[in-house]
Amino acid sequence: MQKAVRVLRVALPLAFVAFIAVIAVSWTRSGVTRDKTATLPVTSTQRPQDKPIIAATGFEDTQTIGGRTVSHIKAKRVIAFKSGWSTLEGVALTLYRANGLTYQVTCPQAQFNSETKEADAKGGVRVVSSDGVEISTAEIRYDGTRLTNDIPVTFRIDRWQGKGGALDLDVEGETIRLLKTVDATMTPPTKGDPGMTLRAEESVFRRRENDVTFTSNVVMTRGPDKLSGDRMVGKFTQDRKTLTAMEGNGNIVIAMSGAAAPGEDLGGTKTITCDRFFSEPSADGQLGAIIALGEPTLARALLAGPPRRDIVARSFRIALANRAVSELKAEWEVVMKETADVVREIGADHVTVSFEPQQHRATSALLEGNFRYRDPKTTASAVRANYDIAADRILLTAQPGFDPTIVSEGQTLKAKLIELSPKAGIAKATGEVIAQLVSTKQGGPSADTTNIFPAGSPVFVNSDQLIMRQSNKTAVFSGNVRAWQVTNTLLAQELQVQGAGQVMTARGEVRTVLYNAGSEARKTPVTSRSDQLIARRADRRIELVGSARVEDESRIMTAEHVSMYFDANRKIDRIEAENKVALLEKTTNRRANGDKATYFVQKKMAYLTGSPATAVEPSGTLSGQQIVFDLNRNRLQVLSPSGTTQGTYKQ
């Protein structure tokens, strides 16, 4: 379209000023036949009362400047009228430019006023240049300053061709205005590339500024891409052959990659709506990126799925490569909604979405500043996050003073690094993990309803790593695990919680500190050590497996397997042990060994059985089928209903 600026600016003014002026200047010196009779037909239809005073046929004139031919005009007939107007018929004008180009201007009839410098051309005006320019219109009027008409104009310039409904050309201002719907199409320079079509109600070409402005219902189409708005401006190189930038404002809609060629995949439609936009050039001078701004409202981008993504932000930068979107960067107040099986909402201050170059689909996103995530089950926040869209994985990272946080089905998780897989329902945390587990209606991983943590308050867990799975409602903590609730504490190398406290399993150097023993408020806890701990809510018990050791005040029990039983109030009622059972009472220095033992915490009674069970105290030793420790009365009793009882006494 930039060629049209040059041709309309040069050819048309010269066509209707220069060649008419040549006639006026050379009228007295041309070698034509003059006839002053008034009997010749009057050809001026605009002034029927005007009287012809001079007529000539076969008019021809050549103009030179400094020995160089600048123009040559021919007319079949010329008539001068009394009013000062002259009429030319069968006009052919050749203009010779200093750069070697020539312009051929032809029209059936032209009229010129030598006093006012007005001119009219009718009957079909045609301008053809030696470099392939062609302009046609039915008529044009020149008022001494501007060339205007109110009828269609068509043109063909280099790769451009089009039409306009009316023309207004400011000769002095070197500005061309096309009105009443402008259509322009440019054929691509390379075969197979899409062409560009532009349509608007009005356009203004400014020769000096090397730009063109389209206004009112502007639509630009290039292959599968479409851009529409109230006003758009194209800027060109000095030779007006290459488009260097585009900008526009007012109801801008940019639809890209909507209808690819057969066999071509451009990743689906990407539609951006905004208040204004401008472009950035690439390294090779082509259109490299589009900046879309929302002023005062937010700009919006719709990305075809699956899943479909709806993004709002203050501004977007859409980077282009090979006619397709390669990157989309959203800035400030960014909110991205993904619509699939469930609706997700992701927000941040800055979001950069990358597209892979083959299928042009979104593959990853970098989210920086005030990151937020929400779906029906999970919310998350962080300073920044990396979103692997293809793998459906979000990596949340920390910043000094702010660790990422996830809340899933009521459970809260913080760590230095959190990896969230929403579709799989998996959250992985690493580094200074702290979780808050509570009972919820959704039945997510919880520990506050187990017998270890019986109170109705949350359980907090620290660890080096954590994996939470929504599918089977499990949470697995590993590495330096510490779980606590008020005063009860559990330490281990691994802790697994399943469901709403249905099963809780700890492994590796397991230690517990429990204050919920007996009915009274305790100042000293019941502590334990074991290789493994299993707590089942339905059983109201805790199992200690492997090198188990339980200590209650001054009493110590060891065995390979120990079970702690709880009453309806989740207080420790009794402790049962089996396999290599040993009892020790520090205050009396009593020791006992057997196969099984039952210790009633509130009654402070211990029953040890074996084959035989033995007890050692400072005053001697006892053995039998059962040994009873009455700790309240400081009494030891041996029972052997079907066997023998033995004892030794020391003075």
The pLDDT of residue 51: 81
For residues 559 and 594, membership in a common domain is answered with yes
Which pLDDT score, from 0 to 100, does residue 3 have?
A: 44
Helices (H) and strands (E) in the chain, counts: 2, 44
Residue 1 lies in a domain: yes
The last residue of a domain, from among 514, 541, 565:
514
Q: Do 446 and 546 fall within a single domain? A: no
User: Cα torsion for 384, 388, 392, 396, to the nearest 10°?
Assistant: -20
Is pTM, for the whole model, over 0.85?
A: no
**DSSP-assigned letter for residue 10:** H
Q: Looking at residue 305, what is its pLDDT?
A: 73
Looking at the fold, whether 639 and 547 belong to one and the same domain comes out as yes
Do 27 and 107 belong to one domain?
Answer: yes
pLDDT of residue 200: 93
93 and 70, same structural domain? yes
| Main-chain phi, psi angles of 565, to 5 degrees | -105, 140
Whether residue 532 contacts residue 546, with contact meaning beta carbons closer than 8 Å, is answered with yes
| Backbone angles phi and psi of 628, in degrees to 5 | -110, 125
Whether 433 and 571 share a structural domain: no
Q: What angle do CA 49, 53, 56 make, to 5 degrees?
A: 120
**Residues sharing a CB contact under 8 Å with residue 105, sequence separation 6 or more, in sequence order:** 11, 14, 15, 19, 91, 92, 93, 94, 95, 125, 126, 127
Statement to judge: residues 638 and 583 lie in one domain: yes
- Reading the block at residue 76, the tokens are 């079949």
Least Cα distance to 553 among 583, 523, 579, 589 occurs for 523
- The β-bridge partners of 592 are 583, 615
Amino acid 10: pLDDT: 45
Closest to 446 in 3D by CA, of 489, 516, 504: 504
140 and 7 within one domain: yes
Q: Say whether 149 sits in a helix, a strand or coil.
A: strand
Q: What is the CATH number of the domain that holds 449?
A: 2.60.450.10
Q: Which residue among 159, 177, 208 closes a domain?
A: 159
Would you say residue 560 lies in a domain? yes
Number of folded domains that form the chain: 3
Do residues 21 and 144 share a domain?
yes
From the centroid of its chain, how far is CA 596? 65
Query: Minimal CA–CA distance to 256: which of 225, 234, 220, 227?
Result: 225
Note the pLDDT of residue 651.
59
Residue numbers of the domain that contains 612:
525-649
Split the chain (651 residues) into runs of 10 and give each run's mean pLDDT.
Answer: 44 50 42 43 56 82 82 85 84 79 83 76 83 81 77 79 85 78 79 79 83 90 86 81 83 76 64 91 74 89 85 91 83 90 90 83 90 90 92 91 86 91 89 83 56 77 91 88 89 87 87 78 84 85 92 89 86 89 86 90 86 82 84 80 68 59
- Residue the block writes with tokens 């089950």: 377
Q: Are 16 and 134 contained in the same domain?
A: yes
Q: Which two tokens stand for residue 163?
A: 């039409």
